[in-house]
């Protein structure tokens, strides 16, 4: 599977940084780059990229405006690039795949690209007319001995990696799902779930408190009192996601 990517940023150095990272990915083809929103809109319409890395703040038509002018079925997967978190609400409104704050961390960039690969794989197995939002998983089958139990996404508090399994924490109980966390992350609605660590995901409406630590990591406390650590490489995106859902932290 080849991922056809468009790079959009008004800063040549920023475009070069994204291109350099993508050049190391054998399954990625950079089909073009644009320096403003108008050119990006035209390129998205004519070249139909699978994924666009797009800066939010640009002269004239900004990145979010360009995405909003495309009908939802015609929008490519989008990873937003910005130095500010105040655009989070609009980012989620256009179903942005991820929201990377500049300067972009290498691990966060790699995770966002992996998520794009997984979501694109899901899309390519579905009819074109199906909206992207329908790809998000709403329930999961977990085995309890000889029985199969359905766990709704709305019941999940947080998720942790456990080898080839994902541990779903729901209402004080742990359910093991035979699926690696990286693959599961691509099936979760980014308006409801956020990565907080390479080995942990949290449901946004379960977060009650966020406390900064001295090493730039953060300590999360869920409404049920569960403490979780958020790695500094995920904290900015987590804050943006919490802002988008109107969380009070």
Please indicate, yes or no, whether residues 13 and 72 belong to a single structural domain of this protein: yes
Model confidence pTM above 0.85: no
Read off the pLDDT of each residue in 79-92 and give the average, rounded to a whole number.
78
Tell me if 230 is assigned to some domain: yes
Please indicate, yes or no, whether residues 119 and 163 belong to a single structural domain of this protein: no
Q: The domain spanning residue 119 has which CATH number?
A: 3.40.50.2300
Please indicate, yes or no, whether residues 163 and 47 belong to a single structural domain of this protein: no
Q: The domain spanning residue 215 has which CATH number?
A: 2.40.50.1020
Read off the pLDDT of each residue in 56-71 and give the average, rounded to a whole number.
93
Tell me if 211 is assigned to some domain: yes
Please indicate, yes or no, whether residues 141 and 119 belong to a single structural domain of this protein: no
Read off the pLDDT of each residue in 227-233 and give the average, rounded to a whole number.
92
Tell me if 249 is assigned to some domain: no
pLDDT in tens, 179-188: 999 889 888 9
Tell me if 148 is assigned to some domain: yes
Please indicate, yes or no, whether residues 127 and 149 belong to a single structural domain of this protein: no
Domain endpoint, select from 87, 102, 133: 133
Are residues 96 and 78 in contact, defined by beta-carbon separation less than 8 angstroms?
A: yes
Tell me if 11 is assigned to some domain: yes
Please indicate, yes or no, whether residues 68 and 124 belong to a single structural domain of this protein: yes
Please indicate, yes or no, whether residues 16 and 125 belong to a single structural domain of this protein: yes
Please indicate, yes or no, whether residues 177 and 216 belong to a single structural domain of this protein: yes
Tell me if 229 is assigned to some domain: yes
Please indicate, yes or no, whether residues 166 and 53 belong to a single structural domain of this protein: no
Q: Please, which contacts does 203-209 make with residues 24 or more away whose CB atoms are closer than 8 Å?
A: 203/156, 203/157, 203/158, 204/241, 204/242, 204/245, 204/247, 205/245, 205/247, 206/157, 206/158, 207/242, 207/247, 207/249, 208/249, 209/249
CA angle 131, 179, 142 (to 5 degrees): 90
pLDDT in tens, 3-61: 999 999 999 999 999 999 999 999 999 999 999 999 999 999 999 999 999 999 998 99
Please indicate, yes or no, whether residues 112 and 218 belong to a single structural domain of this protein: no
Domain endpoint, select from 74, 109, 133: 133
Tell me if 86 is assigned to some domain: yes
Domain endpoint, select from 104, 133, 162: 133
Are residues 41 and 68 in contact, defined by beta-carbon separation less than 8 angstroms?
A: no
* Residue ranges making up the domain that contains 102: 3-133
pLDDT in tens, 132-168: 445 688 999 998 777 889 999 999 999 999 999 999 9
Tell me if 235 is assigned to some domain: yes
Rounded to the nearest 10 degrees, what angle do helices 106-124 and 12-23 cross at? 70
d(Cα 69, Cα 61) in Å, to the nearest integer?
A: 10
Please indicate, yes or no, whether residues 190 and 76 belong to a single structural domain of this protein: no
pLDDT score at 248: 61
Please indicate, yes or no, whether residues 117 and 143 belong to a single structural domain of this protein: no
Sheet holding 193-197, edge to edge: 173-177, 165-170, 158-162, 200-203, 193-197
- Total domain count for the chain? 2
């Amino acid at each position: 599977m080849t991922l056809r990517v468009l790079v959009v940023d008004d800063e040549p150095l920023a475009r070069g940084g994204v291109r350099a990272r993508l050049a190391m990915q054998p399954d990625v083809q950079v089909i073009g780059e644009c320096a403003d929103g108008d050119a990006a809109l035209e390129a998205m319409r004519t070249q139909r990229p699978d994924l666009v890395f797009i800066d939010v703040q640009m002269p004239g038509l900004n990145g979010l405006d360009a995405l909003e002018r495309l009908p939802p079925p015609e929008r490519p997967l989008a990873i937003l690039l910005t130095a500010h978190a105040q655009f989070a609400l609009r980012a989620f409104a256009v179903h942005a795949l991820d929201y990377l704050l500049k300067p972009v961390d290498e691990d966060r960039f790699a995770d966002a690209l992996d998520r794009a690969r997984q979501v694109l794989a899901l899309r390519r197995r579905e009819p074109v007319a199906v909206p992207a939002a329908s790809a998000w998983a709403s329930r999961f089958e977990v085995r309890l001995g000889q029985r199969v139990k359905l766990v709704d996404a709305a019941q999940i508090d947080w998720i942790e990696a456990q080898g080839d399994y994902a541990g779903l924490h729901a209402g004080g109980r742990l359910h093991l799902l035979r699926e690696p966390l990286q693959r599961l992350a691509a099936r979760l609605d980014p308006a409801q779930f956020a990565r907080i660590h390479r080995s942990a995901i949290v449901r946004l409406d379960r977060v009650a408190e966020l406390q900064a630590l001295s090493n730039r990591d953060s300590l999360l406390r869920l409404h049920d009192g569960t403490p979780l650590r958020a790695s500094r490489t995920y904290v900015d995106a987590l804050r943006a996601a919490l802002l988008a859902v109107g969380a009070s932290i």
